[in-house]
Structure formats: C-alpha cells, structure tokens
Amino acid sequence: MTPYELLAVVAVIGVARAILSLRPVVAGSSGRSTAIAREFLDPFIIAGIAAWVLITFVARTYYIPSGSMLPTLQIHDVLLVDKFEYRFHRPNEGDIVVFPPPVPTPDDFIKRVIGRPGDTLRIAGGTVYLNGKPLAEPYVAEKPAYSLEIRNYGIYVSYGAGWQRIEPADANVPPASQWSAPDRIPAHCYIMLGDNRNDSEDSHIWGFAQDSGRFESGSRAGTPGGFTGRAFLIFWPPSQAKIL
C-alpha cells in the first residue's frame, strides 16, 4: 500500500467516525453511537496516521519483483527501506538503493550504488574499475558480458563489436556543461548496477540515476529524480532474513 492509499483509507475511516459522532442521539441510547465510534474507529485512525508518518518519512516495505539483484535479493523477498538516512548524507558505494529510474515505469527500481559524483569508472574484462582500482564484488551473479567507460562527457558500452555511446535521447546523460571533467561522473549523478549484471536493466542501458533535481535527458527528461531510500533488511521470507 502506498502512502497515498493509506492516507485515503484513514480519511474514509475519519469521515465514518465523524458521521457516527454527529448522528442524533436516540432516546434511551445515552450517546452510544459516539462511544462506539470512539472505541472502535479512533484506534484505527491513530494507527493509520502513525503508519502513514512511518512509511512517508522513516521506512517502508519493498517487494522484489524480478531477478535483477540475484543472488543478493531473491524474487518475492520483502525488504525494509530506510527513507530517513539520505536526508543527512549521500549514498555510499555499495549501498542497495530504491529509486525512481529515468525510464517510464510505475515502480521504483532497486540497484547497487557503484559510482558516485566525481568518480571515474570503467568495466573491462568483467571487472569494475573505480577511480583506477578494481572492485572486489563477491555479490555478483556473474561477471558482466559487456565493457563500459565514462569518457568524453558520455557513457560508452561495448558488447565486443565496437563502442556505442548511450544517446541522451534514450538515457539520462547530462550535457557537457554539467560535467566537472569529461571522464568523471557529474554532480548528483550515480552509476547503478544490478548484482545480476547480465540480466539487469540499469545504468549501462538508461544512464545515470540522480539524488536530486530533474532528469536531464531521456524518456523522462524534466521529471524529478531522487532516492527513495536504502534497503537495509530482508525480513520475509524468514529463511532469507538478514541485514543488508
């Protein structure tokens, strides 16, 4: 249930509570309708408001619908997502993050933070090189079957038959004026990859995710970017329960 749906349910219960409270008191009833409204509906209203505050500002659940984060996250896992942490600092390398991607979709995506603003990044021979150093990635399902480079104010991908630039018409890649250097990830931009590298719709296809502002290009240009929160706990099913 989304925060808006929950708020709508609370509003309906509140209206019902108000109607019952305003009904004329029937002779001999001693105002029992008001007492019933308070006894049975008020706890639902209070609990609903508390839940709305929690899922809007603190934490919420997230269901895993696909295998793009295998083996770390299994299909049908249910996570807890911290919506509060990124109000104080930017995502860390390696964080598993829920966010709206720069492609049309009714749902948020969940991927791992690989590159952050100011980083240099390339993928060669199945290894990610971040700021010139190879990353140890024991969490990936298999090494990526593609190469990737951030250079010349763009993202370039190769599947073994030459390099292709990810076109801003199809992906979120800011104009050169917003880059601090031609080979460094621009401000507010992130490279997000799934742990199941060869079966993941991620930054090697749709470009950069953003921690704020509006997407600069691609099919969702002009719409807000941002991070919903950091996934920190698998709590269902119990056999999968663990801190991330």
Catalytically annotated residues: 68, 111
Strand partners, 151: 154
The reply to whether omega before 174 is within 30° of 0 (cis) is: no
d(CA 161, CA 52): 51
Strand partners, 229: 98
| Backbone φ and ψ of 76, nearest 5° | 85, 0
Tokens 């708020």 label which residue?
7
Q: Residue 200: CA atoms inside 13 Å, Cβ hemisphere, count?
A: 29
- CA distances from residue 81 to 23, 188, 211, 241 in whole angstroms, order as listed: 43, 21, 16, 14
Q: Taking the chain, what is the end-to-end CA distance rounded to the nearest angstrom?
A: 23
CB-CB neighbours of 128 under 10 Å: 22
- Do 133 and 143 touch, CB atoms closer than 8 A? no
- Which amino acid appears at position 67 of this protein? G
d(CA 116, CA 118): 6
Is the torsion defined by CA of 84, 61, 137, 186 positive or negative?
Answer: negative
